[in-house]
């Protein structure tokens, strides 16, 4: 049976974790403590294939790891999980380096934007793992069900490993994504992370968060 | 007859200017000198409704002004045109604050990105004018013919004046844009200017520059 580790116990982690269980994965949700309330409640709702543990436990458990943490704590979480534990694993990074300190809309944390990205920083921290940036440009219900946007939107993947991207694309297809563009190496995550500002402003202008980006071409 | 001033003599300015003439406008293309070679050649090709002049001449001439300059010189161009000459005019800003100094792909000029935008800086320089940011997210052939992307993409407008946005939307419709989202005030230009990095990476990955962004919703 395929095993996935989820880093983070927020709505994104819970939604991705539930979907992976529906797809037949065993899933361990990791957090700072081994008995995080959110994680325990999520596991109870998701049957025997769901379990909980620390970030380190979830990382050791999974063949594929989903980073569903908030951007502001992401790098600290990878430190806590133990960089060596990610070796040769596919790490699907959904995080965004958003800074909400000045209210809505957040801006991107300047040191991880424009000439850098959070995806790249994660890859630097775990050089023996294969980071793939994807899914960060839609809300979590659309992540696991692309049609929830109301159409057939485009999804992007960025990463240095062709194999890890192929594995990610296979999961994305099971999430309902049919139109996927491989942008290239992990530095192309700069492009997708910089889509958050337009996502936020479309959401603020229309009140609709169930949107997707279709690249017409 | 409606009169438009074009700032900039590059491909964007020429393409927008030609389209406006086809739509019945008189168009004056402005540059640093009154007899810029590019502008003179463009005017020859576009008949008696096309004329050339300085940035100041083009600004005084137009009821609506299109900023088609490169982002790196945009603010200097507005200074040369004379900020007072824009008073109460609609200024359609197509520029992007791209920095090519480190090669391809360019990044955004940090002081005009993320927590600021070139659109906002222009509005600050000409506070009595009505700046509308739009069209900066596609190549110039798609700008004047949305269907050239191969579909019905979405266009955004950002600006403080409802009337100036309505005038801009009326022009966009004549350029073939049917799906237009009003994002709000000029600060929302941060969102659309930050779409350039993904545009560039899609172009680099696919080799296709005739693309558009459709917001599925």
pLDDT tens digit string along A16-44?
A: 999 999 999 999 999 999 999 999 999 99
Instruction: Identify residues of A whose CB sits under 8 angstroms from chain B CBs.
Output: 107-108, 110, 113-115, 149-153, 156, 181-184, 188, 190-192, 194-195, 197-198, 200-202, 204-206, 208, 210-217
Cβ within 8 Å, pair A211-B216: yes
Q: Is residue A156 domain-resident?
A: yes
pLDDT at A122: 98
**A120 pLDDT exceeds 90?**
yes
- C-alpha–C-alpha distance, residues B202 and B217, integer Å: 22
Q: Which residues of chain B have pLDDT under 50?
A: none
Cβ within 8 Å, pair B195-A190: no
- C-alpha–C-alpha distance, residues B183 and B195, integer Å: 14
Cβ within 8 Å, pair A194-B191: no
Residue ranges making up the domain that contains A35: 3-206
Q: Is residue A213 domain-resident?
A: no
Is the ipTM here above 0.95? yes
Q: Is residue A215 domain-resident?
A: no
Tell me which residue in B150, B194, B201 faces A198 most closely, judged by beta carbons: B194
Q: Is residue A216 domain-resident?
A: no
Q: Is residue A17 domain-resident?
A: yes
pLDDT at B1: 81
Cβ within 8 Å, pair A213-B215: yes
Beta strand A90-93 with B179-184 is: unpaired
CATH number, domain of A57, equals: 3.40.50.720
| pLDDT above 70 coverage of chain B, percent | 100
Q: Is residue A60 domain-resident?
A: yes
Q: Any alpha helices (H) in chain B, and if so which ranges? A: 11-22, 37-45, 55-61, 74-81, 118-125, 140-143, 162-174, 189-193, 196-206
Q: Is residue A143 domain-resident?
A: yes
Tokens of B35: 């007899």
pLDDT at B139: 98
**Pick from A214, A200, A212, A202: which is nearest to A148 by CA?**
A212
Q: Is residue A211 domain-resident?
A: no
Interior CA angle at A197 toward B195 and A65, to 5°?
A: 95
> Beta partners for B131?
B91
Spatial CB neighbours of A206, under 8 Å, sequence gap ≥ 6: B181, B217
Number of domains in chain A: 1
> Beta partners for B30?
B7, B53
């Amino acid at each position: 049976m395929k095993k996935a580790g989820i880093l983070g116990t927020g709505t994104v982690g819970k939604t991705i974790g539930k979907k992976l269980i529906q797809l037949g994965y065993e899933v361990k949700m990791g957090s700072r403590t081994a008995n995080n309330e959110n994680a325990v409640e999520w596991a109870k709702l998701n049957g025997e294939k769901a379990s909980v543990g620390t970030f380190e436990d979830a990382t050791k458990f999974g063949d594929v790891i989903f980073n569903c943490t908030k951007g502001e704590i992401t790098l600290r979480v990878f430190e806590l999980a133990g960089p060596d534990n990610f070796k040769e694993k596919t790490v699907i990074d959904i995080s965004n380096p958003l800074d909400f300190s000045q209210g809505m809309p957040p801006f991107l944390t300047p040191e991880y934007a424009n000439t850098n990205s959070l995806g790249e920083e994660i890859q630097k921290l775990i050089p023996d793992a294969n980071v793939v940036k994807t899914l960060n440009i839609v809300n979590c219900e659309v992540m696991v069900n692309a049609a929830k946007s109301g159409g057939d939107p485009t999804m992007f993947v960025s990463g240095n490993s062709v194999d890890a991207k192929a594995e990610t694309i296979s999961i994305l297809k099971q999430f309902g994504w049919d139109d996927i563009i491989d942008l290239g190496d992990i530095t192309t995550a700069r492009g997708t992370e910089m889509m958050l500002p337009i996502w936020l402003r479309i959401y603020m202008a229309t009140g609709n968060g169930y949107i997707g980006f279709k690249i017409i071409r």
